[in-house]
Structure 1
Amino acid sequence: MMISSWKRRRAARRAGKLEQKRNENGEMELTIPRDFRCPISLDLMKDPVTLSTGITYDRENIEKWIEAGNFTCPITNQVLRSFELIPNHMIRKRIQDWCVENQSYGVERIPTPRVPVSSMDVLEILSKINATCKKQDGEGCRDLVVKIKSLAKESERNKRCIVTNGAGSVLSEALEAFSRAPFDENVEVLEEILSALTIMFPFDEEAKGFLGSSSAMHCLIWFLSSGDLSGRRNAVLALRELVSSSDQRKVNELSEMEGAIEALFKLIKDPICPTSTKASLTVIYHIITSPSTNEKQVAKLVNLGLVSLLLETLVETERGMSEKALGVLDGICNSEEGREMAYNNALSMPVLVKKILRVSNLATDFSVSILWKLCKNERREDGGVLVEALQVGAFQKLLLLLQLGCVDKTKENVSELLKLLNLHRNKIECVDPMDNFKDLKRPF
């Protein structure tokens, strides 16, 4: 009797490891043992580490706790004597064994976590990259960049550590250093550096300074024009970061580089992915809205067919793309050539009116601004675009916008537009704005 009782207790202890219970349907459920749960998230720990207080947490959760400015143990509330996180191999091994034992319940074994990269490790690699740049050792630099990129991709924690220790600036300096030589001699190392840079966003001002050098920008344009799909994507992402600085001289220098405008346009015409298309639109927006941009650059974009391309893109697209495309179109319509192209495109009025109050406040502001520029500069006696706008319900949309409210500048444009449109209301019977695209023949 005692032996059978002992066997039952031993079986109960083993069952306790599984902590099974029946759900409402009477089916057995598997509950994670308490010791295996992170005290912060209550989820199964994937990388258990122990604090100086002796409490074990999942590494990702406790790192977020400390990075948020907390200097105490979440459970004991004791002030931490040290921020060192000691891997708890015993708990991790027990968790892995438990996962294997319960594979029949759909539990997957957690992988043995890699040791996170330290600041000392990162600084050592970056120092070696600097040394290879001075020696113009492209192969050696490439191997080091591959290593640091691999570490960054292992975990978000590694990436933060790498970025915090100035990898963006070091890699930008390396790109600038190797771009001084003919590109065909250093294509492989430059390609690898550019790929790694896209993981280091956002860039600090020092990194932008290296990327803004003449040789580095020529390198980026070369990849934008002649690189493979990955190289073109990475180049436009780097250019997007570069133009976000307040240095308008770099934007103007970029716009005047041979092949830059054409390559940016091609990324929109023959898109690689939505991210690269948005990045290209962002770069173009900074170029055409720069106070000292050469009008020839805007004219070049217009002659390439950007106005029609933007309108076609705007017919059906998501919010982010709509906002960027409308922003570029608004900038282009500051020029006479841009407005002329918009006048001659049958999509202009239907698209612009449809976007009002349909996408976002920013898209509405851009749409109204473009309408205002087109209508204000209308020269035809028959009303031209004003009549077209009335036909697709612009008057009702603008009245509704005034009632709902908008920023002061948009409100001024709406008020002036309503006055201009009102002069031609007797010429046309407005249709339902929901039918903006009904029976419309697209010019492409």
Structure 2
Amino acid sequence: GFGVGRGKTEKRKFTMGREYPVVPPRSLASLCDQIAPLLPIPVFFLRRHSLSLLRKVQLLSLVLRSVTASSPSASSALCLRELHAVLTKALNLVQFCHRSSRVHLLLLLPQLSIHFHDIGLDISTVFDVLPPGFLLDLDLRENALLLRRRSEPPCDPKGDRLRHEIIAVLDELRHERPPDPEDLRRIFFELGLQNRDECDDEMERLREVMMKTEEQEPEPSLSLVDLFCVVRYAKQLLFGIECSGASSVESADWESEKEEPEIPEDYRCPISLELMRDPVTVSTGQTYDRSSITHWLETGHVTCPKSGQLLKNTELVPNLALRSLISRWCTEHSIPFDESSEAAGAGGAGTLAVINSKPAIEATRLTALFLVDQLRSDLPSARTHAACELRVIARSGSPLIRAAIVNAGAIPLLVPLLDCGDPVAEENSVTAILNLSIHDGNKEPIVSAEGCLEGIIRVLRFGSTETMRENAAAALFSLSSAAALKERIASEPGAVDGLVELVRSGSIRARRDAVSALFNIATKKDNVPRVVMAGGTDAVVELLRETDGGLAEEAAAVVAMLARQADGIVAVVAAPGGISALVWVLRTGSPKAKEHAVAALLELCRHGGQDALERVARAPLLVRSLHSLLYS
């Protein structure tokens, strides 16, 4: 890649008296031939600079191809070597301009102009110091003189004026003022961005740069994320909703949904089973995410959720070492770690960028408000398209954006799409609700919205695609993490039954989210009988021998939770192969799964009565497995 700094260029030193490897002139001519087809750069504000470079490169190619000296002097060899460095720099610069977006190049105009200017001067400098005897032919000397002529002025005036106008737009957004639509239209038309397709191409270029390079811009106003959000806002504001092809809208945004990396089990909170953002340790030595254990304690519990031991106190000690490890893992997998971003919610943790600067947040908020208004459209395709765009925005948005979408009335407008008969609209709607539910402040409004919970459950049970059912399960998982909503969700007809059905027959992702939702629901003791009656115990016991996707560990956590209540104990003991499956986990499971299995077996022995105690005692290989745990 080509790094653009503040416009300072390296002053190359021509050191004499050293031997340098010879760079053949024809190799330099071939390098010129790589540069020439890429010029001029197809943006008006770099046209003069790139045309000037094109003329120099073409002349230089003629000169180099005509050189006949087979053994250049040491000084000539040095000049050719320096020329190779200059041409390589020129090729990198031109390639950078070709793969970058127009609006990004515009904001970098002063630096790029200086780079083009200095490359031209460097080419002239090389020929200034080239020994006279190197160019024997008179025509070559005349061509070399042409290469020494003037370079273009550092900056295109019209482009510089447009650059200041873009900066003014970013400044308006930074102060939470919407930019004037007519000013925005004029700027975009002058840049050649005159329809949705051209804006989509611009966004795709910005997305590719964000994926391939680390952002090293000198000023916050040059943030690629800011520019992306401004282009997305302008696309919606200036060119409206495209009412065809709504199902493919996601291809225009950088937040395309991908397979998420598997979260290491030590980094998951034992309560929520989500990635810990603020790990804290309680008096028993167990570590939880601060928000999860705080909810646990606020609901009146006085025991450690994982071990069942009585807590000596409610002090939460930050686990800084683990937090550092989790932060490093998130960085390696491009997953935002800052707790304020809340970007690692259920059903998908990672995004390529987090919207957290003022211009990006305000541009995204304005875009979201426009899209919420489009959900009121009479056109079904417009509503579907708006739901899809909101789905994408909510996935990577800040808490402020997610809250703004819900406060603007999005949930009641998304609910009808959950049962509209269009699979694309239904999938976009349930996924948008999932992504909005990541923000804790949105959970209550989502559950309270008329028909919303019912609609999510309908998609969970009868959705026409696997992705719809997966995202419905993830939405229930996310919503059920709120302590005040566990009972309301569990009491909704079909909720627990639908989750149990998915545990039995869903995809790996669907089963994982369904098991996690059952765990959240079961942490409320009054919900345990509902899980048992729906056949949840048998379903999760069957997963204890599962080897794919870490399901055995999550299933063991649910069994351990159920075993804390009398109804759950009876169900675990009665489940076909339940005790032997727990022993199997003791022998073959992960460390976390083994802890859950031991906790479940301990509860059966303590509170399951004589029958349960005898069944556990008779389990084959139990003693050997316990001994192995003690000495491992």
Pair 126,354 (structure 1): closer, same or farther in 2 beyond 3 Å: same
Secondary structure, counterpart of 2:551 in structure 1: helix
Question: How far is the alpha carbon of 1:383 from its aligned partner?
Answer: 5.6
Which residue in the other structure is 1:415 paired with?
Answer: none
Which residue in the other structure is 1:435 paired with?
Answer: none
Pair 52,176 (structure 1): closer, same or farther in 2 beyond 3 Å: same
Secondary structure, counterpart of 1:317 in structure 2: coil
Which residue in the other structure is 2:209 paired with?
Answer: 59
**Cα RMSD (Å):** 4.4
Determine if the alignment matches structure 1 residue 210 to structure 2 residue 445: yes
The one of 9, 29, 35 aligned to 1:13: 29
Pair 332,65 (structure 1): closer, same or farther in 2 beyond 3 Å: same
Which residue in the other structure is 1:221 paired with?
Answer: 457
Alignment of 1:154-193 (within 5 A): 160=396, 166-167=401-402, 170=405, 176-178=411-413, 189=425, 191-193=427-429
Q: Residues of 1 paired with 2:611 and 2:223: CA distance?
A: 77
Question: How far is the alpha carbon of 1:276 from its aligned partner?
Answer: 1.2
Pair 201,343 (structure 1): closer, same or farther in 2 beyond 3 Å: same
Question: How far is the alpha carbon of 1:323 from its aligned partner?
Answer: 1.8
Which residue in the other structure is 1:350 paired with?
Answer: 580
Determine if the alignment matches structure 1 residue 238 to structure 2 residue 254: no
Pair 385,193 (structure 1): closer, same or farther in 2 beyond 3 Å: same
Determine if the alignment matches structure 1 residue 328 to structure 2 residue 565: no
The one of 355, 366, 383 aligned to 2:596: 366
Pair 115,13 (structure 1): closer, same or farther in 2 beyond 3 Å: farther
CA shift digits 1:38-97 (9 cap, x unpaired): 9xxxx999547654773799832687445xxxxxx6xxxxx54852569xxxxxxxxxxx
Q: Residues of 2 paired with 1:181 and 1:114: CA distance?
A: 25
Secondary structure, counterpart of 2:111 in structure 1: coil
Q: Residues of 1 paired with 2:605 and 2:370: CA distance?
A: 60
Amino acid across the alignment from 1:403:
Y
Amino acid across the alignment from 2:513:
A
Pair 347,186 (structure 1): closer, same or farther in 2 beyond 3 Å: closer
Secondary structure, counterpart of 1:208 in structure 2: helix
Which residue in the other structure is 1:396 paired with?
Answer: 624
Q: Residues of 2 paired with 1:14 and 1:288: CA distance?
A: 70
Secondary structure, counterpart of 1:315 in structure 2: coil
Alignment of 1:43-54 (within 5 A): 47=100, 51=108, 54=111
Task: Report if the CA contact (8 A) 1:282-1:324 is conserved.
Answer: yes
Question: How far is the alpha carbon of 1:325 from its aligned partner?
Answer: 0.5
Amino acid across the alignment from 1:236:
A
Secondary structure, counterpart of 2:580 in structure 1: helix
The one of 371, 374, 380 aligned to 1:129: 371
Q: Residues of 1 paired with 2:563 and 2:437: CA distance?
A: 31
CA shift digits 1:9-61 (9 cap, x unpaired): 2454306878xxxxxxxxxxxxxx666669xxxx9995476547737998326
The one of 216, 222, 232 aligned to 1:83: 222
CA shift digits 1:254-303 (9 cap, x unpaired): 111111111111111221x111111111111111112xx43xx4334323
Q: Residues of 2 paired with 1:319 and 1:81: CA distance?
A: 41
Q: Residues of 1 paired with 2:399 and 2:499: CA distance?
A: 31
Determine if the alignment matches structure 1 residue 281 to structure 2 residue 525: no
Task: Report if the CA contact (8 A) 1:223-1:235 is conserved.
Answer: yes
Pair 204,195 (structure 1): closer, same or farther in 2 beyond 3 Å: closer
Task: Report if the CA contact (8 A) 2:215-2:224 is conserved.
Answer: no
Greater mean deviation of Cα atoms: 305-314 or 273-282: 305-314
Larger radius of gyration: 2
Task: Report if the CA contact (8 A) 1:221-1:259 is conserved.
Answer: yes
Pair 14,172 (structure 1): closer, same or farther in 2 beyond 3 Å: farther
Which residue in the other structure is 1:268 paired with?
Answer: 503
> How many percent identity over aligned positions?
15
Q: Residues of 2 paired with 1:386 and 1:250: CA distance?
A: 35
User: Runs of 5+ in structure 2 lacking a partner?
Assistant: 1-23, 35-87, 116-205, 226-250, 255-354
Aligned residues: 328
Task: Report if the CA contact (8 A) 1:319-1:359 is conserved.
Answer: no
Greater mean deviation of Cα atoms: 234-243 or 134-143: 134-143
Question: How far is the alpha carbon of 1:371 from its aligned partner?
Answer: 0.7
Secondary structure, counterpart of 2:484 in structure 1: helix
Secondary structure, counterpart of 1:318 in structure 2: coil
Pair 45,322 (structure 1): closer, same or farther in 2 beyond 3 Å: farther
Q: Residues of 2 paired with 1:401 and 1:298: CA distance?
A: 29
Q: Residues of 2 paired with 1:338 and 1:173: CA distance?
A: 42
CA shift digits 1:225-280 (9 cap, x unpaired): 333233322211112121223xx221110111111111111111221x11111111
Q: Residues of 1 paired with 2:438 and 2:600: CA distance?
A: 33
Task: Report if the CA contact (8 A) 2:477-2:514 is conserved.
Answer: yes
Q: Residues of 2 paired with 1:243 and 1:186: CA distance?
A: 27
Q: Residues of 2 paired with 1:264 and 1:337: CA distance?
A: 19
Pair 309,115 (structure 1): closer, same or farther in 2 beyond 3 Å: closer
Question: How far is the alpha carbon of 1:171 from its aligned partner?
Answer: 6.1
Q: Residues of 2 paired with 1:163 and 1:132: CA distance?
A: 21
Which residue in the other structure is 1:89 paired with?
Answer: none
Amino acid across the alignment from 1:387:
A
Given the two structures, how large is their TM-score scaled by the length of structure 2? 0.44
Question: How far is the alpha carbon of 1:133 from its aligned partner?
Answer: 4.9
Pair 81,183 (structure 1): closer, same or farther in 2 beyond 3 Å: closer
Secondary structure, counterpart of 1:316 in structure 2: coil
Secondary structure, counterpart of 2:602 in structure 1: helix
Q: Residues of 2 paired with 1:370 and 1:299: CA distance?
A: 17
CA shift digits 1:180-217 (9 cap, x unpaired): 7696568775543223445x477213332332215222
Amino acid across the alignment from 1:143:
H
Amino acid across the alignment from 1:362:
K
Determine if the alignment matches structure 1 residue 195 to structure 2 residue 431: yes
The one of 218, 230, 251 aligned to 2:486: 251
